[in-house]
Chains A and B, each alone.
Chain A
Amino acid sequence: MAVYRLSTPISEETVRKLGVNDTVYLSGTIVTARDAAHRRALRFHKDGKRLPINLEGLAVFHCGPLVKKEAGGWRVVAAGPTTSSRMDLFEDEFIKDFKVRIVVGKGGMGKKTADAMKRYGAVYGAFTGGAAVLAAKAIKQVKGVEWSDLGMPEALWILEVENFGPLTVAIDTHGNNLFETIQTKVDHEKPSIYKKLGIP
């Protein structure tokens, strides 16, 4: 359970050193993307169009932030993670096409995504759900916003962060998936819970 302080761009070699239960604090550039942005990014790739930002070595953040426009530009008020499983539909291709190295969200992701992480070199970093002000505090600047036609929560927010975390590595490149491990344990506990409650 080591603690890593990483800066973007992150190399494939670095990310392959991480294991589940490790803690990561991230500095550099992270980009928010939810369902709609994932879908559009994959469409761009298929059509041979370039994304507004090169994501190689960066972190993608499953987040629909609450932002406020002020005199000096945008300010992130609150930016906790959203439920990552919704992005399972797209994430394997997203990792393959854009070479993001860290996927940040909450609630974990499925086998298809975990397989892509193992194959192409990426990890899943769980950020505490709802800890939105803690996240906003680590966001030093909004470097840009793209695809704002998708609406505030769905746009690509390009954020400069400093010591963003703690992120718990919950899926690594070695085939470990912490959420799956816990699910297995929970399933194992179920019969004894039923028994205690007198459920046949």
Chain B
Amino acid sequence: MVTGETVENVAVKLLQLAVTELPQDVKEALQRAYREEEDEIGKAQLKAILDNVKLAEKTCAPMCQDTGVIIFYVKAGSQVQGLDKVEAALRNATARATKEIPLRPNAVDPFTQKNTGDNTGRFIPYIHWQIVPGDALEITVLPKGGGSENVSALGMLSSGQGIKALKKFVVDTVIKAGAKPCPPTVLGVAVGGGAEIAMNLAKETLLKPLNQPNPDPELAKLEQELREAANSTGIGPMGLGGKTTVLDVKVDYAHRHPASYPVAVVVQCWAARRASARIYSDGKVEYLTHKVK
């Protein structure tokens, strides 16, 4: 049995962890980029990023003023009791975190332009559900910034051109985005399924740690090829030049319709924020992405 109260408290903690402290794999990727960057201005940008990350962690302040639109991924164990309480708990947690941390209010009515003031609204926070075996509830939060989201792209490409069209689309998306998404970015790329399936898969790949290569050797090769291509554009940190345009590229796929070749590229800024925790039936909580004292 999980209680709404536990879920709410854990979700507030996850939001705080996500916006104030990057997971270790992202910090390491930024440190490596700083060590390897040769462009003087590019290196200075990475230095400012690392200083900022350290300061945010130390002062427990959001590392970026854009604390994003809040998206939750929930893996619900089939034996967990109390799942009907989870959605309300996540909404309450989002509103509470907005006041307590604080988060910037980022939920705006697209017709009236009115900001709700607490990051909740119609379908927001968005919740992705997955039912899995077991008696644990795993919650991941992905606060997604607007600058990088604005350059994300979907291409309904020609199935006849296949993988070459995919590669071109990814490179063109990176070049068109230029400085806008706060590079070095992480690219989530997915092909197949259909328009929304590709988009969902691409966004979900952003939850994978940056230091783990794809278990599928073919996809691992494609990821490396795309990473090298993006980094040879010369866009560099903040678009001010250099060899670090992306920290990583993650690829996923679904089988496709014979006539369709949907390719989704979801762009994530350097502040690749995410946080996960697992709540067990006995109330025990395990944080998966961050060390919690």
Contacts and interface: CB of A to CB of B under 8 A. Distances in A.
A195 B241 CA distance: 22
Interface stretch (A40-48, A89-97, A127-135, A141-149): A127-135
Contacts of A182: 234-236, 239-241
B115 interface: yes
Contacts of B49: 128, 130-131
Interface stretch (A9-17, A64-72, A113-121): A64-72
Chain B contact patch, size range = 35 or more
B179 interface: yes
Interface of B is mostly: loop
B232 A152 contact: no
B216 to A, nearest CB: 19
Given A64-B65, A170-B240, A130 B182 contact: yes
B238 interface: yes
Interface string A171-200: 000000011001101110110111011111
Contacts, number: 151
B36 interface: no
Interface in A61-85: 63-66, 68, 77-80, 82-83, 85
A34 to B, nearest CB: 12
A108 B104 contact: no
B61 interface: yes
Task: Indicate the member of B40, B48, B55, B164 with the most A CB atoms within 10 Å.
Answer: B48
Interface of B: 40-41, 44-45, 48-49, 51-52, 55-56, 59, 61-67, 102-105, 115, 145, 147, 150, 164, 167-168, 171, 175, 178-180, 182, 225, 229, 232-236, 238-241, 269-271
